[in-house]
Amino acid sequence: MKHFAASLVLLCPLVAYSAEIPDAKFYRDAAEGGMAEVAMGNLALQKAQSPSVKDFGAQMVKDHSAANEKLKALAQSKNITLPANPSVAEMEAKSKLQVLSGQAFEKSYIRGMIQDHEEDIAEFKKEAASGQDPDARAFASATLPTPTRTTANSSLPGPRSHIRTDPATAASWSGPQWKWCR
């Protein structure tokens, strides 16, 4: 019972924070996700062997650093404090990638980025269509083309039409450029 009461006390500021700021979850998730994308892109620059995966990592660092700066400026103009670090789940995903190397790293990194960008697209579309804060809606609308372009047309090796997050389809990927993704 004491732990439950302590948990409630700790959560109250978060609930109050969320109630005061329209779209607080979007701001938090976008900030955490953006920081994670930069960190993982930098990891790809360090660990990837394939030049195209390194290039993709560099593009992630560039795109997400720019989006992070825009989000930070928007949040500051509204006196919103953004998180200083990625979420625990995102830090855990990075930790899992850090222990991999070679093709295993590249395969896991690319699959994670594709899945993450598909989720980002859904979140940003939702915010752009139905967010309460007009500035957050505008940010989501302006930023949405980047993950959409990344998922549909990135500089990843091989034909983009073959990329799927469903592991069952990985066996159908063809061509030597996809051998590390099988």
pLDDT at site 86:
94
pLDDT at site 137:
95
pLDDT at site 40:
96
Q: Is the pLDDT of residue 140 over 90?
A: yes
* 54, part of any domain: yes
Rounded to the nearest 5 degrees, what angle is found at the Cα of 87, between the Cα atoms of 90 and 165?
30
Burial class of residue 9, CB neighbours in 10 A (0-12, 13-18, 19+): exposed
Q: Under 8 Å CB-to-CB from 47, ≥6 apart: which residues?
A: 97, 98, 100, 101, 105, 109
* 62, part of any domain: yes
68 band by pLDDT with thresholds 50, 70 and 90: very high
pLDDT at site 152:
52
* DSSP classification of residue 157: S
pLDDT at site 144:
85
* 167, part of any domain: no
Q: Is the pLDDT of residue 78 over 80?
A: yes
Give the domain extent around 29.
21-158
* DSSP classification of residue 182: -
Taking alpha carbons only, the member of 67, 41, 66, 34 closest to residue 55 is 41
* 35, part of any domain: yes
* 10, part of any domain: no
Half-sphere exposure of 66 toward its Cβ, with a 13 Å CA cutoff?
9
Residue 58 vs residue 12, higher pLDDT: 58
Average pLDDT, the chain: 77
pLDDT single digits (tens) 159-178: 333 333 333 333 333 333 33
pLDDT at site 75:
94
* 143, part of any domain: yes
The CA distance from 171 to 97, in Å, is: 22
* Mean pLDDT computed over 14-42: 82
Domain count, the chain: 1
Q: Is the pLDDT of residue 143 over 60?
A: yes
pLDDT at site 165:
36
pLDDT single digits (tens) 82-121: 999 999 999 999 999 999 999 999 999 999 998 888 899 9
* 55, part of any domain: yes
For residue 121, give the 3-state DSSP assignment: helix
Of the candidate ranges 27-31, 131-135, 159-163, the one whose mean pLDDT is the lowest: 159-163
* 13, part of any domain: no
Which CATH number characterizes residue 130's domain?
1.20.1260.10
- Cα-Cα end-to-end distance for the chain: 49
CB atoms within 10 A of CB 68: 18
The CA distance from 182 to 167, in Å, is: 9
Q: Is the pLDDT of residue 138 over 90?
A: yes
22 band by pLDDT with thresholds 50, 70 and 90: confident
